[in-house]
Each structure stands twice: as C-alpha cells, then as structure tokens.
Amino acid sequence: TKDIGRSEPDFVRSFEFENKLLPLTWVVVRIDGCHFHRFSDVHEFEKPNDEQALKLMNSCAVAVLEEFEDIQFAYGVSDEYSKIVSAIASLFTSTYVIKWGEFFPQKVLKYPPSFDGRAVCYPTYKILLDYLAWRQVDCHINNQYNTCFWMLVKSGKTKTQSQDYLKGTQAREKNELLSNQFGIEYNSLPLIFRMGSSVFRLKEAAAVENGVVSGKKLRLEGEVVVDHCNIIERCFWEEHPHILS
Ligand code: ATP
Ligand code: ATP
Ligand code: MG
Ligand code: MG
Ligand code: MG
Ligand code: MG
Ligand code: MG
C-alpha cells in the first residue's frame, strides 16, 4: 500500500510460514557438507578416504546424539550424515569447527565449513530401513569406484584417463583391477571406508569396536557409540531392537 504506517504484526509474521514435519513418521535429517569437494582439497584430505576427517564427522554425530536425546540413530559416509528425528546442522557445524584441532593438530582450518540439512518423513520403518540400506549400498559403490580412481591417479594417470579407464566396469572388474594392479584386496580395506559409520546409544553395557586398530572397549549402558556394522542385513536391527522402538 501507499500507506507509510507499519504493517500489523500478524501480517509480518505470516511470512514466517510454518514448516512442520508429518506426525507419526520416521524423520530423517540428512546433513551434508557444503562444497566439501573444495573443502577437502583446500585441507589436503587423504584420497579417497581421509580417516581423520571421517572420525571428525563421527565425533560431531556423537555430539548431536548426546545433545538431542530423541535422535535414535545416525549413519554417515563421506561428508554426509543422516539422522532420525530432529537434528541441528548448526550444532554439527560448530562441533566440527571446535573439534577440528583434535583430529588435525597439524592443519589450520582455512575457512569456515558449513553443512546443509534436509528433513524427510518415512511413513514406515521398513521404508526407513530401505533408505538406510540405500545409503550404505551407495557408500560401498562410491568407495569401490573412488579407491580404483585414486589408485590410478596416484600411479600416474590423469583424472580424465582414470575416469575413462573405469567407465562401464563392473564391481568384479574393479576388485580385480585393485588386486592385480595394486595388490589391494577390497574386502581387507578398513570397515569405516567400506561400511560407513553408524552412531547409536547402547541399550546395555557391551564391548564395542573402538577404532580400526584399538580392538574392543567396554562401553556403558546409554553411551553413544560408533560402529561400522552392516545395517542392510536385518540382524543388526534384531540385535538392537531398542533403536526402532
Ligand atoms: P555439495 O555442496 O553439493 O554437497 P560437495 O562438494 O560437498 O557439494 P558431495 O557430493 O557432498 O559434494 O561430495 C563430498 C566430497 O567431499 C567428495 O566428493 C570428496 O571429494 C570429499 N570428501 C568428503 N569427505 C572426505 C573424506 N573423509 N576423505 C576424502 N575426501 C572427502
Ligand atoms: P540443495 O542442497 O539440493 O541445493 P537446497 O535446500 O539448497 O538443497 P534449492 O532448491 O537449491 O534447495 O534452494 C532453495 C533454497 O532457497 C532453500 O534453502 C530455501 O530455503 C530458499 N528459498 C527459496 N525460496 C525462498 C523464498 N521465497 N524465501 C526464502 N527462502 C527461499
Ligand atoms: Mg527466534
Ligand atoms: Mg549438498
Ligand atoms: Mg557435500
Ligand atoms: Mg556428500
Ligand atoms: Mg541449493
């Protein structure tokens, strides 16, 4: 209007449209690093998998689960993290910044990282498990490709040559390439690279895998733990029934 008077508060507030999640559904909040292709370049992440960077991500997920008790489970690969029931990208980001020095004592954080988040509601736990299985399959496929790609690059091929070389190859051919040319048995690569990371609360005290080399460690009931388990197979969910109830 031509009126110079102020707008009514209700009118102004109406621009803040409510963005509610569907009730009675499984809510997944997916957190993904913004432009981490560049971020990992600038900070010279080990390719294809920088283990410290992955552990920093896991540590942020643990902090989020510890802060938000409604979150039951988190699964992460690369620069992304999926969380069930409410999660806050900003807590994840601030934890990432605060813990950077703990995981990279020799590297200065060169610019502020950010993460985007999106929420999706899944109506049944079956679809939820399909979603998580899809992420873990993706983790495996990407890791297998990236391991081949970076071995080719490190052996002297250009990125374009490596890409062309891998175009159209099947899983078996990729495993054979790794084994025959580079002496790498895909299945002996660290679980954290092949399986991604799952973060959840323990129902009861248990001995849990603690890092790649450090073996098992006793954890207390209710403690938030990181594991690199197969979440596609039903047995994980049957062994941890409290996560989905
Ligand atoms: P966007 O902002 O759209 O998410 P992006 O550059 O973050 O873009 P992604 O598809 O999310 O793209 O991919 C993340 C990229 O970050 C990967 O391609 C990989 O190069 C890099 N990256 C993330 N984590 C690691 C890690 N732990 N080790 C090595 N590289 C990593
Ligand atoms: P992606 O990571 O896949 O790009 P995104 O959330 O950035 O996901 P886009 O569709 O790329 O989604 O960008 C839309 C963005 O712009 C959203 O973050 C949304 O909040 C913002 N946006 C779009 N329209 C408006 C609007 N009218 N007012 C305020 N913000 C808006
Ligand atoms: Mg406010
Ligand atoms: Mg993104
Ligand atoms: Mg990203
Ligand atoms: Mg990503
Ligand atoms: Mg966008």
Spatial distance between the Cα atoms of 28 and 88, rounded to a whole number of angstroms: 12
For 46, other C-beta atoms within 10 Å of its C-beta total: 11
| pLDDT mean across residues, the chain | 87
> pLDDT (tens digit, 9 = 90+) per residue, 21-74?
677 777 778 889 989 999 999 999 999 999 999 999 999 999 988 988 877 888
The tokens of 111 are what?
């610019």
- Asked if residue 233 belongs to a domain, the reply is yes
36 CB near ligand 1 (under 6 Å)? yes
ipTM higher than 0.90? no
- Asked if residue 118 belongs to a domain, the reply is yes
- Asked if residue 84 belongs to a domain, the reply is yes
- Asked if residue 15 belongs to a domain, the reply is no
CATH of the domain at 172: 3.30.70.3000
**5-14, 133-142, 153-162 — which is least confidently predicted?**
5-14
- Asked if residue 86 belongs to a domain, the reply is yes
Give the model's pLDDT for residue 85. 37
139 CB near ligand 1 (under 6 Å)? no
78 CB near ligand 1 (under 6 Å)? yes
Confidence band (pLDDT; 50, 70, 90) for 76? confident
- At residue 199, does pLDDT exceed 90? yes
- Asked if residue 36 belongs to a domain, the reply is yes
The residue range of the domain holding 116 is 26-244
- Asked if residue 82 belongs to a domain, the reply is yes
As for how many domains the chain has, the answer is 1
40 CB near ligand 1 (under 6 Å)? yes
> pLDDT (tens digit, 9 = 90+) per residue, 129-144?
999 999 999 999 999 9
List Cβ<8 Å contacts ≥24 apart for 178-185. Answer: 178/147, 178/148, 178/151, 181/151, 181/155, 182/151, 182/155, 184/147, 184/151
The angle at the Cα of 189, spanning 51 to 80, to the nearest 5 degrees, equals: 45
Atom of ligand 1 nearest to the CA of 33: 7
- Asked if residue 16 belongs to a domain, the reply is no
- At residue 88, does pLDDT exceed 70? no
